[in-house]
Structure 1
Amino acid sequence: MSNPTVAAQAISTVPATILGRQQPRIPTAGRIRAGIKVLTKAAASDPRIRALYDDGLAHQATFEQIEQKIAEQFPDVKTPLVPKNVAWFTVRPNDFPNPAVASQILDAYGEDRGDGVIRLYRFPVLFPADAWQSVMPHELACWTRNEKRYWSEYSADGQTRRCMMFAPATIDARSQRAVRTFGGRGTQPRPDNGGLCDPERCPEFQHRQCNLSGRFLFYIPGIRSLDAFELHTNSFYALSRAIERFEAIAFLRGGRIAGFLDRQGTTFYLTKKLREVSHLDQKTGQPVRNAHWIIELEAPVDVAALLDQRDDDATLRMADAAVQALQGGEPIMHDMLPDTMPQAHQPVNEAARDAAHSSRANQPAPVQAACTNESGTGVDAVYALAVSLGADRAELDTYLNRTWGEGWCRNAQGVKRVLAELTRMQGDPDGLRARIHAEPGAQH
């Protein structure tokens, strides 16, 4: 389900600090839940427990708080609450340090689907890192009521899955007190199984005490928060399908999944889909299919636009190479130019460089001063490349200001985009001149 080597290689490049060598963690503040928890049949049969549950819901308590209160007053009830699979996500004020965030999320993205209740069924998300292992951490974990008892962890080589636990406290021989540790509790491989995570031979896994646990870490557009939000799930199917989406988008975007997916501000979406899930019946060993609401990661993006965006990024790299050449650096390499570009237009280096010197010598001073305020010789490269393609300087100024805005030459990104456009037009100088002479609004 994963390639642990990626995480292991990432760790090896992280510099050591006094707190150790570890991957940077994405801080979180607030949790959206995958569903709800309801009383078990045994707990619901006691009206006193039902009253505690209803009171907790009325006061916006978290399910953990409700469960803890029931356990305190009815210690004989071992498992008062169980998860229930529903079509929506749960957003409760007490799951956020700032309770008002829950209302902000529901106001922005909540829906009433006919029952008079505003719920969260689908919402946009932005991921803060490009490695899916960072934005969707997951593990096999066995919990007691108060803490994590065992968990899976890959060794440094990324190949061996270890079964880990907290190391027992060291007792000082003189004081007979636990030795104070620096950096939190130590960990160690679990000794009774050789420290190897083997679910098929693990009694905790076979008795459903150890389970897959994962979470999505994300930001929500329009919801202001320095820290990310999290959504937990223990669904193998949800996590596996999300990996497929992550890897597909990363392939189309040159390895990136973070931020907006395209220039139109498209985002991933988290929603739920009712799907039939197959599992083995523990008594018969036969496959059984049941319908469950499964978390679905959607990416409603135009694939053609993503591929075109990758081409644009390649053009920007070509533009950078052009700037280098025009500034006297390494010449533009022919293999960086598009394969479809006519050979007659590829060796533009010498002509462009000569045009650059001529452009610097003949440009009117006011325009030169305005256009090199922030972007330096990048503007020279724009004019030099345009002149090498047969464009008239005065007409070019009018065209660029009309198309890109008069501030293009005072913004580094603006200069880069213009240069990329001209670089793209190297194979069609007549088309560039036609654009320059076109009426306002008839081009671009």
Structure 2
Amino acid sequence: MLKEFKNFISQNSLFNPEDKILLAISGGVDSMVMAYLFHQCTYRFAVAHCNFKLRGEASDADEELVRSMAKKYEVKFFARQFETEQIAKDRGVSIQMAARDLRYEWFDELLDDFQFSYLATAHHLNDALETTLFNLAKGTGIAGLKGIPPKSQNRIRPMLFAEKKTIESFAGEKKITWREDQSNASVKYHRNLLRHKVIPLLEKINPDVIRGFSISSRKVAAAENVLKANIGALNERLLKKSGQDFLIGKEDLLKQLEGAFVLSEILKPFGFNYSQACDIYDKLSGVGKKFLSERYQLNIDREELIISPILLSPAPDTILIESTHDTITGQGFQLKIQQVSAADFVIPTDRNTAALDMGKLNFPLQLRPWQDGDWFVPLGMRHKKKLSDFMIDEKIPLNLKKRVFVVKSAEDIVWIIGHRIDDRYKITARSRQVFIIKKEAHD
């Protein structure tokens, strides 16, 4: 086993011999064997143990065993006790979730404070299979099917080459002392249910299911790498950045094989899940549909999907104007909206009507009161002008300035309602479609 251990570390480039490793040791057979192997290989390491105080004297006995092992190996020992039940209650999470968070929060502190290169945990092949089955039951992507990776950021799993039964046999052979957590026998926890009920059934189909999974896991990991490379190339081709927004051309997306899946992978960094991506893909022919993730808003426009940070979402006194709207009600007025062809279009001279080049607009537009610092390029001019200066020139009375509203496209003001449009959005000979907004009085 020692040779396999060293080979696994080398083949997966887990760490260099000169690196200093922090071992997470619970006192169970897996982690105690891992510590033994580190000691036999004369790697540089220290030991960290969490006492979650969930099993009374048994928890304290676990801590004492790990402490004595560290003393025997003459390595630095770290221990911390947690009032786990109370902390779980305070945080509003399960005891298992609280214990996991507390464990890794403390481990990260130790890594930083004592300059350890990596944290080593004793996950083995059985753990990896349980993780895959658990992820599969929840509905996972390819990443979840590969189980537990040998290395991720500053965490390494040097025992992933071994099955549980091999570890236990080795512990008996080398007379390694370890302690069993009695809660591992309970099937009330999902992982234990998989361990004690589901995997034994799979072993009836294939007695060597763990090793079979190991091969499948490597294949899935390789397939994921190929997928990432292809998605990366598609990202460069399909996803375009425009200021704070991201654009995906609908026509290009529809040409892709398994377009809904491709879209789900592109949208994943924006927080949209697979179900949302499928829903968006199914509604590509529509215009004006809006979808939200935690941090982003996606709008289906005529030719593109527009992804915008929610941080740029309008303030509470702002109203969104979609391209599909026909009426918007403001404060003391209504906006009537219409779209017409630019062919033979006669530009209105009425100040209460804005005729804008629709091809230049970024929906949804925003209707809001003017603010200090606002500026635009008044129709007929080539340079920007502050709204405060514009209103002075227009001789708008001070008491009426608070009634001045603007329409914005992305970060540009396109119309000072009832006064003037922005020169950059006027109708020209190249315009194809006109977006007309007409202000009408409304009680």
Could you tell me the TM-score, scaled by structure 2's length?
0.24
**Structure number with larger C-alpha Rg:** 2
The higher-RCO structure (CA 8 Å, 6+ apart) is: 1
Could you tell me the TM-score, scaled by structure 1's length?
0.24
